[in-house]
Structure 1
Amino acid sequence: MPTIEDIILNHDRRGINALRPHLPEDFCTQAAQYLLEHPGPVIIATGFYIIMSDAPETDGPPGAFAIGNAIRELGHPVAYAADDPVAGMMANLLSQQGDSSPVIDFPITGDAAKNYQAARNAIAEHEPSLVVSIERCAPDAHGTYRNMRGVDISDKTARIDRLFELGIPSIGIGDGGNEIGMGNLLDVVEAADMLPDYPAITTCNHLIASSTSNWGGYGLVAALSVEAGRNLLPDLETDAACIRYLVDAGAVTGVTGAHDYLVDEFTLEENAAVLQELHDYVASNLKG
């Protein structure tokens, strides 16, 4: 049977597998164990701006919700961190689901003092034992926030990465080399043919790489499920409904910017097939 890491790195269209030899063989399991070693409130950051469509993408929030729901099932509170308009989309969906988890709406500003203050305020209010990022842009060595094509999106990106500079235990999930956590493998990303020439510098304690970031989120939850002894993954329809909601609210697919029910050009059916593989893995490997 394939491992969790095999499943989430399958169908690689961006060359992210270049990172795999430089990560632990069981990087999802190690991240899950690390999360369980730091019980308590968790802040989950997500949301990525797609400049060609002037809209956020569908990759990130579904995985964030999957992680958040799993953590809540384990008895710990969750807060989400995003910027406009993702923060509003997430808050509306949570409200519809009867989930009172707060969404921290980070300001989009180039003022360094305000950015650090926003991060400190979030830490003071929610007192997280851990911070998680999934598909969240981080700056390059020049302080510029760039998409996969190297285009500057700084003026549309809140500096949520500041949360990861304050000494809080952290997990980063990404699929492109320009996200929070990819600073762990800065030189590897920079040298990879298909990955950005200006990689993100923000580091984390545990990095998860995947073909699309949502799958990395599902992979973390699958590993948590095995460690916890119960399946914490979302069911296929709940996950598909989340993606459909985001698209209906204005989100787009990240690769082409199309306003369609896609995540990085993967269809709902292709996405569901990966999630089903993880369900099958969990069913075969539950402990206890």
Structure 2
Amino acid sequence: MFIEDLILENDKRGIADLKQLLPNHFCIDAAELILTKPGTVLITTGFYILNAKSPETDGPPGALAIGNALKRLGYDVHFVTDHQTLELMQHLCSKDVNLIEFPITSYEKSISFSKDIIAKLEPELLISIERCAPDENGVYRNMRDLDISDNTAKIDLLFELHDNTIGIGDGGNEIGMGNIRTGIVNSNTLVSYPVVTTTNQLIISSVSNWGGLGLVAALSLKSGHNLLPSESDHSDAIKTIVDLGAVDGVSGIRDYLVDGFSIPENLVVLRKLNDYVNSNI
């Protein structure tokens, strides 16, 4: 069993069926891309839950784990999100990490903002985890195919302007899922309006946070150091954002859940990844 198998366990949406469309070791491939691009990295996350009028719990904890791992490897980490998720990231991140608020605005202004960010920071790499992308009509939709465009910044435009990109998702409507769009179109369990945004590397997982942890596990193997968060730190990250108003992405309920999985269930995945890393470093 490999990292990719661990993060696709307990799949409730059918995303694991599309594993055959990706390289066998897609987490390792993504880690190798990262390690060839030292310097500044932008990480984006944040998915708005329409019925709760709040961001969800999937994404920020995984983004935090990736960011902390990259900082330990010497990267200059910047997080990019919109105002819906900004407060969550402010409380999760240390004070020495830069946060960029991407405005929810028109396509033209979003393109201009994206170009300004890239020109100013000159990032070597962009990483997205659980961040909505548009379908072929430019509409941002949730898992129920409802339009959330008015509550979603067009951060995906950054990925159209850069050559080194990684996407992490679990449902078919996230940045990077354009890589396997045909498979999503033919699925009966994933979104009905697949996105078009592609990335150089794509990580799929049963829960996007698990995909983020899988990437950190792969970075650990390639670097020779276990970079995964502790169980207490990962648990605290979930609790912190729920206490700030984040909700479970499946039910829309403000509870210590991530896509319907309890904190203990999430920690089982982290524990398995830790065991795998410690056995293979």
Under TM normalisation by the shorter chain, which class is it?
over 0.9
Contact (CA 8 Å) 2:139, 2:149: kept in 1 or not?
Answer: yes
Q: CA shift at 1:85, angstroms? A: 2.4
Query: Amino acid of the residue matched to residue 51 of structure 2?
Result: M
Matches within 5 A, 1:27-106: 27-94=26-93, 98-106=94-102
Q: CA shift at 1:162, angstroms? A: 0.6
Q: CA shift at 1:86, angstroms? A: 0.7
The answer for the alignment partner of 2:116 in structure 1 is 121
Q: Across the two proteins, how many residue pairs are aligned to each other?
A: 281
Contact (CA 8 Å) 2:64, 2:92: kept in 1 or not?
Answer: no
More displaced, 206-215 or 33-42? Answer: 33-42
Q: Secondary structure at the match of 2:127?
A: strand
Q: Secondary structure at the match of 1:85?
A: helix
Contact (CA 8 Å) 1:42, 1:76: kept in 2 or not?
Answer: yes
Q: For 1:92 and 1:276, locate their aligned partners in 2 and report how far apart those are by CA, in whole Å.
A: 25
Q: For 1:18 and 1:139, locate their aligned partners in 2 and report how far apart those are by CA, in whole Å.
A: 22
Q: Which runs of 5+ in 2 are unaligned?
A: none
Q: CA shift at 1:205, angstroms? A: 0.1
Query: Amino acid of the residue matched to residue 72 of structure 1?
Result: K
The answer for the alignment partner of 1:134 in structure 2 is 129
The answer for the alignment partner of 1:22 in structure 2 is 21
Q: For 2:162 and 2:232, locate their aligned partners in 1 and report how far apart those are by CA, in whole Å.
A: 37
Q: For 2:256 and 2:264, locate their aligned partners in 1 and report how far apart those are by CA, in whole Å.
A: 10
1:229 aligns with 2:224: yes
Identity %: 53
Contact (CA 8 Å) 2:48, 2:84: kept in 1 or not?
Answer: no
Q: CA shift at 1:87, angstroms? A: 1.2
- Which residue among 79, 102, 108 is the counterpart of 2:104? 108
Q: CA shift at 1:168, angstroms? A: 3.1
Q: CA shift at 1:38, angstroms? A: 1.2
Q: CA shift at 1:93, angstroms? A: 2.7
The answer for the alignment partner of 2:191 in structure 1 is 196
In the superposition, the TM-score normalised over structure 2's length comes to: 0.98
Q: Secondary structure at the match of 2:264?
A: helix
The alignment yields a C-alpha RMSD, in angstroms, of 0.8
Q: CA shift at 1:166, angstroms? A: 0.5
Q: CA shift at 1:3, angstroms? A: 0.7
Query: Amino acid of the residue matched to residue 135 of structure 1?
Result: E
Contact (CA 8 Å) 1:44, 1:81: kept in 2 or not?
Answer: yes
Contact (CA 8 Å) 1:104, 1:122: kept in 2 or not?
Answer: no
Instruction: Provide runs of 4+ in structure 1 moved above 2 Å.
Output: none
Query: Amino acid of the residue matched to residue 16 of structure 1?
Result: I
1:147 aligns with 2:146: no
Q: For 1:100 and 1:116, locate their aligned partners in 2 and report how far apart those are by CA, in whole Å.
A: 27
1:211 aligns with 2:206: yes
Q: CA shift at 1:84, angstroms? A: 1.2
In the superposition, the TM-score normalised over structure 1's length comes to: 0.96
Q: For 1:113 and 1:63, locate their aligned partners in 2 and report how far apart those are by CA, in whole Å.
A: 30
The answer for the alignment partner of 2:259 in structure 1 is 264
Per-residue Cα deviation, 1:55-98 (whole angstroms, up to 9, x for no partner):
0000000000100001000011100011112112211332xxx4
Q: CA shift at 1:132, angstroms? A: 0.2
Q: Secondary structure at the match of 1:18?
A: helix
Query: Amino acid of the residue matched to residue 259 of structure 1?
Result: R
Q: Which runs of 5+ in 1 are unaligned?
A: none
Q: CA shift at 1:99, angstroms? A: 3.5
Contact (CA 8 Å) 1:38, 1:130: kept in 2 or not?
Answer: yes
Q: CA shift at 1:39, angstroms? A: 1.2
